[in-house]
Structure 1
């Protein structure tokens, strides 16, 4: 479970209902009691339930969760329902709905990718980058986890990943062994990942023995070539594939034998359709 603070939840709600619901107020139905039901229109993975429920709770409501995040449901399944005054329900309706729609979309895309690569290798992992849509990173993290994915990097502060843009600022940009040795000395608790831009870099990179070599935008044939070089070296370095990995090609890349797939594609998935019905009680 990811904890969302009161401030974060308030920010979501205030973005839409910063001065209440003008329509509900003008119609004079604020005090009318009603039931609000959220349904997933199509079958698939569910995400965003915990956050949507917390949003409604912030409005003084007591939502009932029928499904937990990470579950696959049939079309028309009720996810959440809640009773209360119209002014409360309408203040939370769209915000909760949008959270559910976007999170379910990300989770579904992630789940599809995971299923594709794990049909080839049950140990394969889909890990999502920190390149989420600005302002959505925590929601994205929750949705990816609900989709059965992993988080590649939540931010800059927790993992070592050397890009070419790092190496260009070093005195000897191509001295792979020096980079790896320095990182092992200065950050002994962290695994070391070095990104390779071209297949020509692999032979020397393998000699430096980082924990992971991340292959950026490599073709399938280039990944196979890199696998062969690694096998000949006898090193225990792991290969990961990043850049352009998505729902349409993940299975093909999994056929190469690589088990770690780095992607940002789920963040830009189409939202799933969540139907919301409000009825009087």
Structure 2
């Protein structure tokens, strides 16, 4: 699978801030104390478990921001499958610079590869079905773009990126508006011709109230399998149905088999285990 990476313009501020946090006000005092200024270092980013790579450009940027002369060769680009021992990238250059960037590079690469790997696990459980696995806005502050990119590297799909992408009417909106009908009427009046409207419902009666307004997407919040099947039969493909809530690796297959179009999984970004990667001298 070929995945276009995020532009450096978008990820450089994240990497730069992470380096600034780590370097503090004095820089890498350890490397400055024990490593000669002109010492060279060659190392490999090596996978220590099986999984999916994401975030390699963050690692590259961490190195180049410390020293533009560092050579960084990518062997396994984003979305690549790796086995234990596989070399993801090689780096060579000034030793002090590489060591100063090491932790930031590994933190971002390991976290984002963890997101991609968890996503790929979910996707494989339903890959013979038409249901899409999607992430949510439950992302780490300032890491939404890279995390959503990592989901795509794992074969998943992206939900909206922010509050401005689409109208998503949730339970609190409905409560404040005074009901599904009023909320949908107001959303329809406000939406431009390119703006999609999604409505969250928590019962079949609410779904029935919504359908005459023809929402683009209906989120079925914490529906049982029986309710999901009933909703699919009721809608008959006339709107996109998204299942949300109670989704994990043990339940995702049965939820997909209900016939819903999308399953959104917050855990892809907020609970992905870190993927084990080391930077080993060669």
Same fold by TM-score greater than 0.5: yes
**Structure 1, 93-102 or 131-140: larger mean CA deviation:** 131-140
Indicate which of 5, 8, 32 corresponds to 2:14: 8
Other-structure match for 1:89: 98
Structure 1 distance, partners of 2:228, 2:265, is 16
Count residues with an aligned counterpart: 271
> Is the CA contact (8 Å cut-off) linking 1:33 and 1:83 kept in structure 2?
yes
> Is the CA contact (8 Å cut-off) linking 2:14 and 2:142 kept in structure 1?
no
Indicate which of 254, 264, 267 corresponds to 1:265: 267
Structure 2 distance, partners of 1:174, 1:58, is 51
Unaligned runs of 5+ in 2: none
| Superposition TM-score, scaled by structure 1 size | 0.90
Indicate which of 192, 200, 203 corresponds to 2:205: 200
Residues 1:216 and 2:218 aligned together: no
CA apart distance, 1:227: 1.6
* Superposition pairs of residues 45-124 of structure 1, within 5 angstroms: 45-60=52-67, 61-119=70-128, 121=129, 123-124=130-131
1:88-132 residue CA offsets vs partner (Å, 9 max, x unmatched): 11111111111111011100011111111222x1x3211111111
| Superposition TM-score, scaled by structure 2 size | 0.90
CA apart distance, 1:62: 2.1
1:173-212 residue CA offsets vs partner (Å, 9 max, x unmatched): 242xx54344334322122111002233122222322111
Other-structure match for 1:244: 246
> Is the CA contact (8 Å cut-off) linking 1:109 and 1:247 kept in structure 2?
no
Other-structure match for 1:183: 187
CA apart distance, 1:260: 0.6
> Is the CA contact (8 Å cut-off) linking 1:49 and 1:100 kept in structure 2?
yes
Aligned-pair Cα RMSD in Å: 1.7
> Is the CA contact (8 Å cut-off) linking 1:162 and 1:195 kept in structure 2?
yes
Unaligned runs of 5+ in 1: none
1:140-184 residue CA offsets vs partner (Å, 9 max, x unmatched): 1221111111111110011111112112222x4242xx5434433
Structure 1 distance, partners of 2:167, 2:247, is 21
CA apart distance, 1:34: 1.2
